[in-house]
Structure 1
Amino acid sequence: MAAVLAAASREAMASADARLDAYADSAQAADLQRLGDELFAVTRLLVEQRALRRLLADPSSPEAARTGLVERLLAQQLGAPTLDVAKQLVAARWSRPGDLVSAFESIARQALLAVAEKDGSLDDVEDELFRFGRVLDREPQLGSLLSDTTNPAEGRVALLDRLVGGKASPVTVALLRHSVQLPRSRHLDVVSEELAELAAGRRERSVARVTSPVALSPEQEQKLTDSLTRLYARPISLQVELDPRLLGGLVVQVGGEVIDGSVASKLAAARRSLPS
C-alpha cells in the first residue's frame, strides 16, 4: 500500500506530480529514462543516509540552505533536469523526512512510466507488473528472497534478471530492478501492485473520453486521435460515448481537462449571457 501523506506533504507531492507531467509531455523518452534512473539513485542515497534526509527535509532550515546542499553534493552526478527536480523537491515543505524519500521514489517511478507512455508500451507494463505481483503472491519464498535486504543488492537483482530478463518490457524490468535495489524492506508483490496501479493511473492520461450526439466515422475518429496526439504530445486513444442531448459538436475529456465544444453548451452559455 502506498504511503499516506499528511497535508503539507500531499500538497508538495501534487505540485511535484504536475511539474513531472508538464516536463514529460515535451521530453524525449531517453531524457525521461535518465531522469528516472537518476532519481532512483538519489532515493537510495536518502534511504541509506538518515542524517542527510533529515537535513534536506528540515522545515526550520532555510530553503536556500537545503537546495544549496543538493547542489554541492549532487551537481556533478546528475543531469540538469534531475538536479532541478531534486532542488524543487527539497525546497518543498514535507510533513516528515520519510515523505521526501517517498516523493523522490514516486517521481522516479512516474518518469519511467512516462517512457512507456511515450513508446506505447504502457498497457504491457501495467499487465506485466500485475502478473509479476501475482506470481510473487503465489510464491512467497521467492518474494522474500527478492525483498531480503540482508542479502547483497547485486544478488537480488541477478535473481530478478533470471525471472524477467527478456520476458518483460524494458520499463517493467527497470522499475522492478530499481525496486529490488532500494533498501526499504518492502515485499515486492506489494510494490508490483503499487506500480501496476500507477501505470493504470498514467494510462488514464492517454485516454480521451469523447461524448458525441452521433456516431463518429472511422475517418473522424482517426482525425480526432491525430489532433489530440499532437496537442498532448503523447499517443491518445479514444473512448466514444453517444449522447443526443449534446445536439452537435463534441465534449472531450483527457485526464482532468475538459474541452466542451458541444452545441448544448454553447446554447447554455448564450442563455446565461442574456439580460434577465
Structure 2
Amino acid sequence: MTTGENAITGEAGKRYAKALFELALEAKSLDATEADLTTLGEAFAQSSELRLVAASPLYGRDDKVNAFSALADKLGLGDLTKNFVAVMARNARAGDLPDAVRAFKQMAAERRGATTADVESADKLTAAQLKELQAALKSALGRDVEVRAEVNPELIGGLVVKVGSRMFDSSLRTKLEGMRNAMKEA
C-alpha cells in the first residue's frame, strides 16, 4: 500500500472481485485465479508507472485494454484472469484493479476460514518477522491470519496493521505527527 486511500477497498473493485470469485468457483480455478491475482498485485505494488497508467484519464480505453492485455500475457496469467483484466480496462476500471485484487484475496481467505491482515512497514519484513507477526495476530484474534505485507517508506519506521475495520498504527510517521500536533496546541 502506498497511501492510506489504498487501504480501503473501493466498491467497484469489490463488485468486480465478487464476479471473478464466482466465476473462479464455477470453473474450479479458485487457487489458480488467486495466484494470478497475487502476481498482478505484486506488479502494481512494484510499479508506480503501472498504477499511474491504470488511474490516468490521459490514456484512452483502447490503449488501456491493449496495455493491460499485454501485461496479463507477459505475467503469464490464466485466461479467466486475462479476461477479467481486459473487462476492467474496457469498462474504464483499470484504476480499480488493486482494489479488486485485495477484495478477491480477502474473499478467498474467508472461504478458507482465515482472516486477512494488511500490514504496511517502512522496510520489507523478513520471513521470520512475518511469521512472528502472523503468530501474534493468530493469538490475538483466535483464528488463522493471512498477512499481506506491503512496503510504505513514508511510514519511516514501525507498522500499520489493518484487520477488517480495526487498525493498529505504530508507525513513526504517526507518532511524529502526534508530537507536532501536541506542540501546536501547547
Q: In which range does the TM-score fall when normalised by the shorter chain?
A: 0.5 to 0.7
3-state SS, counterpart of residue 164 of structure 2: helix
8 Å contact kept, 2:14–2:99: no
Structural mapping, 1:161-200, within 5 Å: 161-162=131-132, 164=134, 172=144, 175-176=146-147, 179-180=148-149, 182-184=150-152, 187-188=160-161, 190=162, 192-194=163-165
Q: CA offset at residue 79 of structure 1? A: 1.9
Match of 2:104 in 1: 107
Match of 1:215 in 2: none
Counterparts of 1:41 and 1:81, CA distance in 2: 14
Match of 1:54 in 2: 52
Shift >4 Å, 4+ stretches: 162-165
8 Å contact kept, 2:85–2:97: no
3-state SS, counterpart of residue 39 of structure 2: helix
The two structures, once aligned, show a CA RMSD in angstroms of 3.6
Counterparts of 1:15 and 1:164, CA distance in 2: 28
8 Å contact kept, 2:73–2:82: yes
Higher radius of gyration, 1 or 2: 1
Q: CA offset at residue 68 of structure 1? A: 1.4
Instruction: Point out the structure with the larger strand share.
Output: 2
Match of 1:81 in 2: 80
User: Is 1:34–2:43 an aligned residue pair?
Assistant: no
3-state SS, counterpart of residue 93 of structure 1: coil
Q: CA offset at residue 19 of structure 1? A: 1.3
Structure 1 residue identity aligned to 2:85: A
- Pairs aligned (count): 150
Counterparts of 1:60 and 1:163, CA distance in 2: 41
8 Å contact kept, 1:67–1:90: yes
Deviations 1:203-259 (A, max 9, x none): xxxxxxxxxxxxxxxxxxxxxxxxxxxxxxxxxxxxxxxxxxxxxxxxxxxxxxxxx
Q: Could you tell me the TM-score, scaled by structure 2's length?
A: 0.60
8 Å contact kept, 1:24–1:111: no
User: Is 1:23–2:23 an aligned residue pair?
Assistant: yes
Structure 2 residue identity aligned to 1:71: S
Match of 2:91 in 1: 92
Structural mapping, 1:111-190, within 5 Å: 111-114=108-111, 116=112, 122=113, 125-126=114-115, 147-150=120-123, 152-153=124-125, 155=126, 157-162=127-132, 164=134, 172=144, 175-176=146-147, 179-180=148-149, 182-184=150-152, 187-188=160-161, 190=162
Q: Which runs of no fewer than 5 residues in structure 1 stay unpaired?
A: 117-121, 134-142, 196-276
Q: Which runs of no fewer than 5 residues in structure 2 stay unpaired?
A: 139-143, 167-186
Counterparts of 2:21 and 2:50, CA distance in 1: 28
3-state SS, counterpart of residue 187 of structure 1: strand
Structure 2 residue identity aligned to 1:103: A
Residue identity (%): 15
Q: CA offset at residue 86 of structure 1? A: 2.2
Counterparts of 2:24 and 2:80, CA distance in 1: 11
Q: CA offset at residue 45 of structure 1? A: 1.8
Q: Which has the higher contact order (CA 8 A, sep 6+)?
A: 2
* CA pair 108-101 structure 1, distance change in 2 beyond 3 A: same
Counterparts of 2:80 and 2:122, CA distance in 1: 30
